[in-house]
Amino acid sequence: MTSLDIHQILEHLPHRYPMLLVDRVLECEAGKTIKALKNVTINEPFFPGHYPHSPVMPGVLVIEALAQAAAILSFVTMDTKPNASSMYYFVGIDNARFKKPVMPGDQMILEVELVRSMRGIWKYAAKASVDGSRCAVADLMCSYKIVPAAE
C-alpha cells in the first residue's frame, strides 16, 4: 500500500487550484483500490454561491473528487505520470446517488475500486463518505489517451 502527500498528488494529477480536489492519498494499491481524502473548508470558491446561508458542496464536485482519485489510481497502476502528450478524460457516470450533503468542516473520504481496464478505458466503483456515513456513490468511466504535442 502506498500513501501520497500533496506534492506527490500534484505529480500524478494535472489539476491545480481551484480544481484540485484530493488533499492526501491514505492508501493506494496499484491495479486495485485507492483511499484518499478531501478536507472541505469554508474557503472553497463555490461556497459563497452554493448556498450562502447553508453552504453545501455541489454533488458534481463530489463526483469530480472521486474521478480525480480514480485518475491517481490509474497513473499509479500504469506506473506513469501525466504529461503534455497524455490526456486522462472523465467520460462516464452511471448509478450516481447522493445520500447526504457535504459541508464545510467535513473530511470527505474517497474510496475507488478499479473494476476493469481495457484498451484505454478504465471503469471504477466509487464512494464518498464523511464520518463513516456514505455521501455519494457512482460507477465512473475514464479514458487515457496519448495526444499529439501542441505546437
The residues annotated with a catalytic role in the active site are 50
**In terms of Cα–Cα distance, which of 92, 99, 89, 90 is closest to 137?**
99
Find the largest Cα–Cα distance for the chain: 48
Beta strands in the chain (DSSP E): 2-4, 24-29, 33-39, 86-98, 107-118, 121-130, 133-146
